[in-house]
Amino acid sequence: MKSELPIILAVILSLVAIYGLRPSRAGSGWLSSSKIFPVVWVLIFLLPYMAFGPSSYLWMDDEGDLLVPFHYYVANFADGGQYSHLLGAGADLKGSFLIGGELISPERFLMAHFPLWIAIAVHKALTCVFGFAGNYLLARRLGGLDRRPSLALAAFGTVFWFRMILVTYSTGMTLSLIPIGVYLLVGRLGRRWWWGGALAYAVMAGLWMVPTEGAPAISIAVVATMILTKRYDWRPFAGIALAGIVIGVNWSESIYAMLQTMGESMRGSDQSSVSTEALDVIHGTIVGYLSMFTNTAWPLGLEIALSLAFLAIAAPRQVPRALITMILPVFFIAGFLLFPWTEIGLAGIRNSGTRYFTFGVTGTVTLVAAQAIIAWKRRGYGLVPWVIGRGESLPAALALVGAFAILGWNVGFQMINLFYRSGQAHYHVSNLKNPTWFNASDPARVVSLRASYLQPEPGVVLAYNLPYFDAWLNLMDPRFFRYWVNGVNPRDPTDPRIGYDWASVRGGVVHVEEMVSLPLLAAANVGYLVSALPVTGQGLVLLDGPDRPQLEKPSRSGVSPMEYYRDRWSRIFDLGKMHIYALPGRLPRVWAAAALQTTSSAAGSAGFLAEVAAAAPARVAVLNAAHAMALGKAEAHASMTVGRFDLVRNGFEVDLDAPEGGVLMVNALATRHFRAWADGRELPFTEANGVQTAIAVPAGSRHVSLCYGRRPLVATTAKDPRECGLAAARSP
């Protein structure tokens, strides 16, 4: 069933396309209508996202467990500050993720004012419409192609990469805006109101295009199109600059935040993965570029290969110019990597991800395909009247049939994926939506056990405004990552999330201590574990659970296939409750250190974290020698006690009694953007226990503020009354 439905739908839609290409249908019917074809195409594209209303489909990798929850959280729950208490061990809200920091966001508007499934459907429709319109205009008006093959190429241009269908809240939407940008900036040269089109595109790009993904791509696409069409003019560059200004303004705080936090991230601090040898860079660039078109973007690679092949047969003199435009991203990538970013203090930019440069071909491939179709038809090659009708060419027919086949396969895949993994029902889990088990006055973090077909995915809890420790961030702090891969979950050296180890699932029960370190999770203020399956582990307490747990596959559970299928069908509409467990020995978000333990082990190493796991339950702060020195002569004193503490906007407000002084521990990653005060006096602090902040508190202190104060791009004199460090920040 998993593989058959996508194939069946691909065949059915392919036959629909072939039927529409019969001689009697040439030049007529909806396949040739520039009004009906796009509507039909968009409706089929949207089918998985509308078929079951609030329980419709959503790809739960990247999109459903990261992008949508993050947008929804920012739109409905975030307090507008720089710092988020809910992300991992604390993180910069605007500088840790590639989305969410825009000044104006259509996605946030939709999610704040409409039901989530409506917001998702509108977003998907816009993605498809933008991509279709851009490719159609390129083929029809700039390429000079007939209407029906232009429609075929436009349709193909919306499905040639899975991210244009499944991961549209970042990459997909950005890709859909490249062709329309090329048309408005290059295709309309010499026409009236060119600047109006350039301004319209600048606004579209500013609202929907992710800067790190789209800015290099549209630049490359414009240059490539100018080369391909021999339209050399300064105005497209002015249009790019205009778009850059609008993007820069709308994403200003996010871009500025990323530049400031990049140095503390894995991308910004680890340069070992990028070779500075020119030949190594060029070789790696070429291999990476080609490999991209042999896996997830194979339809795009196939379109490029076939277009060049048809051109080589019908118009060989056009091949060199077309080939240059297709490999142009390689030269841009090599130049980018060889640029001396380190010397100018921007080393982290080198590791920002050059695969986005390859998106530039998406703005030119439709034109190359259009040239191939025109050349093939002009030569009269390969006409097959009994299949494709009078005057239609084989390349055009392949484009149309291929587009429908890929769309059919994807719709089938999405429906099967919905059946086995559920979709937007992830956002309607009753005991996550109404978490009576969660103690808001002592907010502990949450982790989720995940599998490819058992829910929930970890990032989903963010959509419920719950703090989640198993957070994947674009700019991830290496200390947080090491805490996971060297301590919490050394089975997986690549991912700070917990996947089911099926060797540890016996009798339908997860033996979690065989998979992860519960003491390290508890030390990091993780107080709750969410799982679809029952879990066993020393000290775990079941707080809430489902009436009927989700069934494992028949091969694991022994249930009949029909019983399993009935269960999966019901989970499309109601995922049911999750098992919620309380972890034993969980440290609070703020606590007083009972003792300090200095170690020679490197912070974040396996040895260091083993010491943390052993010492943290006794409220001991483990520091290496360098970090211990940062606290000066501070000592832990049993007389220091913590009273009330509040997680306020951009920081922590803590009442305490420290007659002899002591060391205050805050369960949040130490960062250079923190500042700590006690009664108006700034205090030294440092990192401890891997993901915590240790603050030296002087004797007699009654209150401590730990505030996150990254410099904003635009400073304001008016202070938000909820801001950390202000008396009004705390609710009565």
pLDDT at 445: 97
pLDDT at 51: 93
Sheet holding 505-506, edge to edge: 505-506, 509-511, 535-536
How far, in whole angstroms, is CA 208 from its chain's centroid?
14
How far apart CA 420 and CA 716 sit, in angstroms, is: 50
The number of beta carbons lying within 10 Å of the beta carbon of residue 274 is: 16
Tell me the one-letter amino acid at 235: R
What 331-334 contacts at long range (C-beta under 8 Å, 24+ apart), as own/partner pairs, is 332/216, 332/219, 332/220, 332/357, 332/360, 333/285, 333/288, 333/289, 333/357, 333/358, 334/278, 334/281, 334/282, 334/285
pLDDT at 388: 42
pLDDT digits (tens, 9 = 90+) for 110-134: 999 999 999 999 999 999 999 999 9
Question: Higher confidence at residue 151 or residue 388?
Answer: 151
Q: Tell me the percentage of the chain whose pLDDT exceeds 90.
A: 61
**What integer is the mean pLDDT of 318-331?**
91
Q: Cβ(332)–Cβ(269) under 8 Å?
A: no
**Which of 181, 141, 133 is CA-nearest to residue 157?**
133
For every residue of 545-568, DSSP letters joined together read: --SSPPPPPHHHH---HHHHHHHH
**Which of 387, 394, 403 is CA-nearest to residue 26?**
387
**Which of 636, 267, 556 is CA-nearest to residue 532?**
556
How far apart CA 588 and CA 580 sit, in angstroms, is: 18
Pairing of strands 620-624, 595-599: parallel
The H or E element containing residue 267 is helix 266-269
Q: Is the pLDDT of residue 175 over 90?
A: yes
Tell me the one-letter amino acid at 482: R
pLDDT at 61: 85
Residue 373 makes CB contacts below 8 A (sequence gap 6+) with 145, 149, 153, 310, 393, 395, 396, 399
Confidence bin at 28 (pLDDT 50/70/90): low
pLDDT at 386: 38
For every residue of 186-250, DSSP letters joined together read: IITTTSTTHHHHHHHHHHHHHHH--HHHHHHHHHHHHHHHHHHHT---SHHHHHHHHHHHHHHHH
pLDDT at 267: 73
pLDDT digits (tens, 9 = 90+) for 281-303: 666 667 666 766 667 788 998 99
Q: Is the dihedral of CA 582, 585, 591, 596 positive or negative?
A: negative
The token pair that represents 446 in the structure block: 């949450």
**Adjacent-strand bridge partners of 505:** 510
Confidence bin at 383 (pLDDT 50/70/90): low
Q: Of the ranges 32-36, 243-247, 483-487, which one carries the lowest mean pLDDT score?
A: 32-36
pLDDT at 13: 82
Q: What are the angstrom distances between the C-alpha of 263 and each of 258, 266, 498, 712? A: 9, 8, 27, 16
Confidence bin at 557 (pLDDT 50/70/90): confident
pLDDT at 720: 75
Pairing of strands 509-511, 535-536: parallel
**What integer is the mean pLDDT of 164-188?**
95
Q: Is the pLDDT of residue 508 over 90?
A: no
The Cα angle at residue 647 between residues 720 and 579, in degrees rounded to 5: 135
pLDDT at 58: 96
Q: Where in 303-347 does DSSP place strands (E)?
A: none
Coil vs helix vs strand at 621: strand
Q: Cβ(166)–Cβ(63) under 8 Å?
A: yes
**What integer is the mean pLDDT of 187-206?**
95
Q: Cβ(449)–Cβ(458) under 8 Å?
A: no
Confidence bin at 264 (pLDDT 50/70/90): confident
Sequence spans of domains, the chain: 4-33+102-410, 429-582, 590-729
What 391-394 contacts at long range (C-beta under 8 Å, 24+ apart), as own/partner pairs, is 391/26, 392/21, 392/26, 392/148, 392/149, 393/149
**What integer is the mean pLDDT of 220-238?**
96
pLDDT digits (tens, 9 = 90+) for 510-545: 999 999 999 999 999 999 999 999 999 999 999 999
How far apart CA 161 and CA 133 sit, in angstroms, is: 17
Coil vs helix vs strand at 683: strand
Mean pLDDT of the chain: 88
Kindly state the DSSP code that residue 692 receives in the 8-state scheme: E
Q: Tell me the percentage of the chain whose pLDDT exceeds 70.
A: 90
How far apart CA 707 and CA 711 sit, in angstroms, is: 12
**What integer is the mean pLDDT of 490-505?**
85
How far apart CA 345 and CA 697 sit, in angstroms, is: 35
Q: Cβ(187)–Cβ(142) under 8 Å?
A: yes
pLDDT at 272: 44
Q: Is the pLDDT of residue 704 over 70?
A: yes
How far apart CA 528 and CA 542 sit, in angstroms, is: 10
Q: Is the pLDDT of residue 382 over 70?
A: no
pLDDT at 585: 92
**What integer is the mean pLDDT of 241-246?**
96
How far apart CA 691 and CA 666 sit, in angstroms, is: 9
The Cα angle at residue 120 between residues 114 and 123, in degrees rounded to 5: 105
pLDDT at 285: 67
Confidence bin at 198 (pLDDT 50/70/90): very high
Q: Of the ranges 71-80, 255-264, 332-341, 360-369, which one carries the lowest mean pLDDT score?
A: 332-341
